[in-house]
A and B are shown apart, each in its own frame.
Chain A
Amino acid sequence: MKFAAVLLLAVAPVMLHAQNQWVLTQSTLTWNVTHPMHEVAGTSHAAKGKGNCSAGQCDFLIAVPVNTFDSGDSNRDLHTLEVVRGAQFPMVIVRTHLAQAALNQPIIDADLEVQFAGQTAHYAHVPLHGTSHGTDVEITGTVPATCSDFKIDRPSFLTVPIRNEIPVTVDATWKPE
Chain B
Amino acid sequence: MAAGRSLAALVCVALVPLMTFAQPSGNPPVASASTDPASSSSSAVPGAVLNLPDAPVPNGPQSTAQTQTQTQSSSSQQTQNNDKNQQPQSGNAPTLGDLGFTPQQTLANAEMQKRLNERTHDLKMHQTFGLITAVPMCAAVLVAGGAKSKKNRSNPNGTVTGPSSSGVDLHVALGSTTALLYGVTAYYAIAAPKIPGVKPKGAIKWHRDLVWIHAPGMVLTPILGAMALNQENNGERVHGIASAHSYVAWTTIAAYGVSIVAVSWPIHLKFWEKK
Contact = CB atoms under 8 A, between A and B. Distances in A.
B203 A85 contact: no
Q: What is the size category of the interface that chain A forms with chain B? A: 35 or more
Contacts, number: 234
A54 B68 contact: no
B108 A149 contact: no
B106 A90 contact: yes
Interface of B: 2, 5-6, 9-10, 12-13, 16-17, 20-23, 25, 29, 31-33, 36, 39-41, 43-46, 48, 50-53, 55-57, 60-61, 64-65, 68, 72, 78, 81, 85, 89-90, 92-96, 98-101, 105-110, 112-113, 115-117, 119-120, 123, 195, 198-204, 207, 263-264, 266-268, 271-272, 275
B52 A91 contact: no
Given A1-B5, A38-B268, A61-B95, A91 B101 contact: yes
Contacts of A91: 85, 96, 101, 105-106
Nearest to A112: B52
Contact of A48 (B17, B92, B99, B202): B99
A36 B266 CA distance: 12
Contacts of B272: 36
Nearest to A70: B201
B60 A120 contact: yes
Given A90-B108, A91-B96, 7 more contacts: A37-B271, A78-B195, A87-B112, A120-B56, A123-B40, A146-B43, A151-B65
A67 B92 CA distance: 29
Interface of A: 1-2, 4-6, 8-9, 12-13, 16-17, 34-39, 48-57, 59-61, 63, 65, 71-79, 81-83, 85-91, 93, 95-97, 111, 113, 115, 118-125, 144, 146, 148-149, 151, 157
A95 B21 contact: no
